[in-house]
Structure formats: C-alpha cells, structure tokens
Amino acid sequence: MYYWGSRGNAITSEPTPFKGIMGLSIVQVACGPRHMAMLTETGTVWTEGEGIYGALGHASKEDKNNPELVSNIKNINMKEISCGSTFTCALSDCGNVYVWGTLKWTGEVLPPSRVVFLDRVFISSIACGSRHILVLTKTGQVYSWGDNTYGQLGR
C-alpha cells in the first residue's frame, strides 16, 4: 500500500510505502478528508489522522500520526469500513452497523456505537458520503440517513 498527500504533520507528493500495522494484513482502506481507517484480515479496525471530530473512534480527540486500534470494537469481527467527512462506519460480520465521530445532522457520537434502528435487518454493505450514510440490506433494500441537501438520500 502507498500513500501521498497530507499524513499527520507531513505532506508528500510522492507515493510512499505504508509500513503497515505490526505485520497485520490490511484488506480495506477508507479515507475521509482528514482521517483514514484500515480493516485487517482479522476484522479489527485501525484509524489515524485528525481526531478533532472523533472520527478516529478513540477515547480522546487527539490526532494520531500512526495507526491505532479502535479498541471499543476490537472484539467484534468487522467486514467492511467507510468514512465520511467527520465520522467513520464499520459493518460487522453479523450485519450490525457501527458509527463514530461527529454526525452533524444528529449530534455527536464519540465512541463507536451500534446503529440500533437497523437491529431488525441484516445489513450486507455500507457506504458513506461526506455527510450521509447508505446501507444495503441482505434483501436488497437501501436505508439512508444524514444530510439530504442535494437529494443524496434518494428522497
């Protein structure tokens, strides 16, 4: 994996090899404007970047210049991740959706929290826009929530 652009306090215009996370294999990367999340083959989520909005999922809003495990969900096997501008989402292998960070349309959610209104459906995929979230159910239904200024929620 390579990165370029702004990372922590450094800016690089050249693709730079990413050293990884203690020998873990990364299977998915998701990026917001100022943070990124990485999903490992073991189902753990690691984040780094700007912490001011809580999008890293750690107990504080401190910036992280190196990947750090999102410890609140370390015992939940995640299968997919996605990032918005100030928040991060993860999908567990049980079909539960977790969100953390600042959701400007509902208020602030710092720690990773399960989205309880989706408890009665099995979610098979997630996607985040800048300020909205879309989820796809096992039966093909789409649920959306967040900012609908430009009709991005499909309503």
Query: Could you tell me the pTM of the whole model?
Result: 0.91
Confidence tier at 70 by pLDDT (50, 70, 90): very high
Per-residue pLDDT for 10 more than 70? no
Residues 31 and 135: their CA atoms lie apart, in Å, by: 18
Beta-carbon neighbour count of residue 93 at 10 Å? 11
Helix (H) or strand (E) run with residue 38 in it: strand 35-40
End-to-end CA distance of the chain: 37
Q: Once rounded to an integer, what is the mean pLDDT over residues 122-137?
A: 97
In 3D space, the residue among 7, 5, 32 whose CA is nearest the CA of residue 102 turns out to be: 32
DSSP sequence for 52-101: TTSTT-SSS---EEEEEE-GGGTTS-EEEEEE-SSEEEEEETTS-EEEEE
Structural domain boundaries of the chain? 2-118
Confidence tier at 7 by pLDDT (50, 70, 90): low
Q: Which residue has the higher pLDDT, 4 or 147?
A: 147
Strands 26-31, 45-49: pairing kind: unpaired
